[in-house]
Amino acid sequence: MRDIESLRLNQTQKLRFEKALEQLDFLSAAANSNACVAVADTILVDHQDGLLKGHGTTDFDGELVATVCGVVERVNKLVYVRTLRARYKPETGDIIVGRVIEVAPKRWRLEINFTQDAVLMLSSITTGEDIQRRQTADDELNMRSIFVENDVVCAEVRGVQHDGSLHLQARSQKYGKLERGQLLTVPPYLVKRRKQHYHYLEQLGIDLILGCNGFIWVGEHIDTKDDMVEDQVAKSEQQNENPGDNFSKETYTSVEIRQNICRAANAVRVLCALGFNITADVIIETVKLSNSVDIHEMLGPEFYVLVAESEVERRRSSKRI
């Protein structure tokens, strides 16, 4: 919460904020049931046969001891410590957002907030055609027509090689270049792995992509349905009939959508500064809370206090349920 320290809270706001933090600490401790441990703390376990010691634990004098600070997690007989603050550790199937930093022969190099740059091979993407085919020399010559430096790209982790390099793939319509939006960077531990990382916020008309690597994209909604050949022909005919109308529709983003993008982006910034887990539901609630203030006021001290108090009420209500 180093960003909070720079806020100029008045005495009333400071008292409200400190009270909210105390309540959050209490609720968090109750939810974890004293599962938070520091380095060298003893983890209470039933010494049963087949107990598996996972990451962040070690055996010392017949007791299970934590080697990192975090929360004790148990999966059947596996006991491990989930670190509260950790760098991004890629896993196969992760949805990530990256920025192109180099166009190399048959590949692009992407910055993904990892210790190494990721590699997206030309053979691991679709060229926008319905028929899957092998990439040719002409495709390699036209690589810059697909992605260039500083383009924001969404992809999936294909695998980690023996040398530590990370390979990506983008063989679906939902992957590819991202435009008309904002790219935000948050600590990766604030984005938990879930079944769904793509979110269409229908009430706002925007897309939200929560990258497992801590890169979050907030942009105008784009339909990702796979178009049939007949639909593509119909679109091309329509463009030929009214080229000016289609140009204006494709290049213009309404003021309302741009305002919604800014509100969602500021909501992510506030949640990141407060150290809260970032999910689509929490972002929506924060945006709703901001409807009573201007967009630029969302980064002011009063709104930070309001978000902290709202998080207290949300956790209380979820605990009652």
- Exposed, middle or buried, 295 (CB in 10 Å: 0-12/13-18/19+)? middle
In what order do the strands lie in the sheet containing 215-220?
A: 181-185, 215-220, 206-210, 198-201
- How high is the pLDDT of residue 235? 42
CA gap 213, 191 in Å, rounded: 8
User: Contact 154/176 with Cβ under 8 angstroms?
Assistant: yes
Nearest partner of 261 among 298, 313, 212, judged by Cα: 298
Q: What pTM, to 2 d.p., does this model score?
A: 0.79
Cα separations (Å) of 18 from 11, 105, 135, 314? 11, 55, 58, 17
Q: What sign does the CA torsion over 38, 39, 43, 49 have?
A: positive
Domains delineated in the chain: 1-32+180-321 (no CATH), 34-84 (2.40.50.100), 87-178 (2.40.50.140)
Instruction: Report the chain's terminal Cα–Cα distance, integer Å.
Output: 29
The pair of structure tokens assigned to 57 is 């634990």
Side chain identity, residue 22: E
pLDDT tens across the length of the chain (321 residues):
545 667 788 889 999 999 998 888 777 765 554 577 888 888 887 766 678 888 889 888 888 899 988 888 888 888 888 787 777 888 889 999 999 999 999 999 999 998 889 999 998 887 655 555 667 788 788 889 999 999 999 999 998 877 777 899 988 878 889 999 999 999 998 998 888 999 999 999 999 999 999 999 999 998 765 433 334 334 444 445 554 454 444 577 899 999 999 999 999 999 999 989 899 999 999 999 999 899 999 999 999 999 999 999 988 887 665
CA gap 278, 185 in Å, rounded: 12
- How high is the pLDDT of residue 136? 76
User: Contact 307/285 with Cβ under 8 angstroms?
Assistant: no
CB proximity list for 66: less than 8 A, separation 6 or greater: 37, 38, 39, 40, 41, 42, 43, 56, 57, 72, 81
Q: What are phi and psi of 180, to 5 degrees?
A: 60, 60
- How high is the pLDDT of residue 112? 93
CA gap 8, 303 in Å, rounded: 12
User: Contact 190/113 with Cβ under 8 angstroms?
Assistant: no
- How high is the pLDDT of residue 2? 47
In terms of DSSP bridges, do strands 181-185 and 215-220 run parallel, antiparallel, or are they unpaired?
antiparallel
